[in-house]
Amino acid sequence: MQTKILLDEEEIPRRWYNVLADLPSPMDPPLHPQTQKPVGPGDLSALFPMELIRQEMSPDRFIDIPAEVRDVLTLWRPSPLYRAKRLEQFLKTPAKIYYKWEGVSPAGSHKTNTSVPQAYYNMKAGIERIATETGAGQWGSALAFATMLYDLQCTIYMVRSSYTQKPYRKSMMHVWGAECIPSPSTKTKSGQAMLAKDPDTPGSLGGAISEAVEDAATHSNTNYSLGSVLNHVCLHQTVIGLECREQLQKVDDYPDVVIGCVGGGSNFAGISFPFAGDKMTGKHKEIDIIGVEPASCPSLTKGMYAYDFGDVAGLTPLLKMFTLGHDFIPPSIHAGGLRYHGDSPIVSRLVHDGVMRAVAYHQSEVFDAALTFARTEGIIVAPETSHAVKAAIDQALECRKTGEAKTILFNCSGHGNFDMSAYDAFHAKQLVDYEYPDELIKQSLARLPKIS
């Protein structure tokens, strides 16, 4: 049995898969933050280039990947698919465990799969600068890399707690020529308001989004870019799952379980949407698709499925999604990329409809799983990715109990080479397992916008 399954360069997907085409019924539309009427292309044109707006709203099952974008993707794609034999042997499981290794990209994570096309379309539209936010820094470094390729300026608002915890992500952004600002900042009105409310706030992804959106909306040469949540972002990430399906065909296999960690939902969508399409169209009805989130920011497992803003200041369209409330401030756990108050509307819809399901873990147990993975497979994964590792191990151990020889696939979404302080804290037993109090979640949800 092969340990590493590769595709040739010409086998990089030529089209992205749009799961919207296979939903049983249409999605609830995004709503304008003031009028609460469905958002149209004109409402988004101040933030995004028209091609991305078209992709956001497209009903087409497949959308062509431009040749210029595919040329850049060949720097790291197709990414390898590994059979985790040593992990299987350590767990004494009859299950087969595969992982898709996205840490081979220049920025070290899956995020470049969408940063490159987003920068490309903005360049083609004549935009000079892009503003964005980042949590743990994976998205910020990926966009800094992509804007460098297309000679665009880049301003990144990084959640303050992660800005402090992960200095080398900030260094990567600087190397590629981007400006990185701790959020909340004094550069924007929304940042000033957040600091006035709590000068010592650790920040949140929703707050950083407010700053980036405000920046883009107040500068005519600037567009906004988002690294997760939105439909076009999830669309770009489907190269992961499309490649996985081709790689598994080479060894005559197909997953019984598909797993990914979930913050906003992009890497989970990337690996799972092609398989969710198989499930919804009846090709593989029994596949179990699992999104894994931190217990300290449990949007899918404890949030409400409702319309909410994507940011703290209420500048973004209202999205129908699982949410903890747009003013939710999560604790400063080391998996900074999984600290968003909401989720991708498509992921939320699929979880709500039972096509997918969600589980939540504490950070100490996911770091323990990451240690097991590093000491069997050799890869030190990002704290975000360790959530998917934990779920894969749990599934494999369940197979050991039942004797089922399931095929388990998970997205190994990024390396942890810049997260060693988190591993140091784990070894020093300094990680706190924080479960966000239900009462505080209720208070935050009580402040959801009222939809007429």
Give 221-256 pLDDT, tens digit per residue. 999 999 999 999 999 999 999 999 999 999 999 999
- Extract the tokens encoding 323: 């949410």
| pLDDT tens digits, one per residue of 58-85 | 999 999 999 999 999 999 999 999 999 9
Q: Encode the chain in three state secondary structure.
A: CCCEECCCHHHCCCEEECHHHHCCCCCCCCECCCCCCECCHHHHCCCCCHHHHHHHHCCCCEEECCHHHHHHHCCCCCCCEEECHHHHHHHCCCCEEEEEECCCCCCCECCHHHHHHHHHHHHHCCCCEEEEEECCCHHHHHHHHHHHHCCCEEEEEEEHHHHHHCHHHHHHHHHCCCEEEEECCCCCHHHHHHHHHCCCCCCCHHHHHHHHHHHHHCCCCEEECCCCCCHHHHHHHCHHHHHHHHHHHHCCCCCCEEEEECCCCHHHHHHHHHHHHHHHCCCCCCCEEEEEEECCCCHHHHCEEEEEECCCCCCCCEEEEEECCCCCCCCCCCCHHHCCCECCHHHHHHHHCCCCEEEEECHHHHHHHHHHHHHHHCCCECHHHHHHHHHHHHHHHHHHHHCCCCEEEEEECEECCCCHHHHHHHHCCCCCCCCCCHHHHHHHHCCCCCCC
- Is the pLDDT at 333 greater than 70? The verdict is no
| pLDDT tens digits, one per residue of 15-47 | 999 999 999 999 999 999 999 999 999 999 999
Q: Which residues contact 249 (CB under 8 A, 6 or more apart)?
A: none
* Arithmetic mean of pLDDT over the chain: 94
* Burial status of residue 446 (CB atoms within 10 A of its CB: 0-12, 13-18, 19 or more): exposed
- Extract the tokens encoding 200: 């010592």
Distance of CA 362 to the CA centre of its chain: 19
What does each C-alpha distance from 161 to 184, 228, 270, 335, 359 come to in angstroms? Answer: 10, 19, 27, 11, 25
| pLDDT reported for residue 335 | 56
80-86-92 Cα angle (round to 5) = 130
What does each C-alpha distance from 422 to 133, 297, 316, 331 come to in angstroms? Answer: 22, 18, 32, 15
- Bridge partners (DSSP) of residue 260 are 291
| pLDDT reported for residue 336 | 59
| pLDDT tens digits, one per residue of 367-405 | 999 999 999 999 999 999 999 999 999 999 999 999 999
260: nearest Cα among 249, 274, 246, 250: 274
> What CA–CA distance (Å, rounded) separates 186 from 3?
51
169: nearest Cα among 417, 423, 422: 417
- Is the pLDDT at 364 greater than 60? The verdict is yes
Q: How confident is the model at residue 332 (pLDDT cuts 50, 70, 90)?
A: low
277: nearest Cα among 99, 62, 58: 62
Of the chain, the percentage scoring pLDDT greater than 90 comes to 85
36: nearest Cα among 314, 225, 311: 314
244: nearest Cα among 79, 372, 48: 79
Domains of the chain: 20-66+110-229 (3.40.50.1100), 67-108+232-445 (3.40.50.1100)
Q: How confident is the model at residue 334 (pLDDT cuts 50, 70, 90)?
A: low
| pLDDT tens digits, one per residue of 402-444 | 999 999 999 999 999 998 988 999 999 988 887 777 888 889 8
- Extract the tokens encoding 168: 């080398």
| pLDDT reported for residue 340 | 87
Helices 266-280 and 345-352: crossing angle in degrees, nearest 10, is 40
Beta strands 62-64; 129-134: pairing state: unpaired
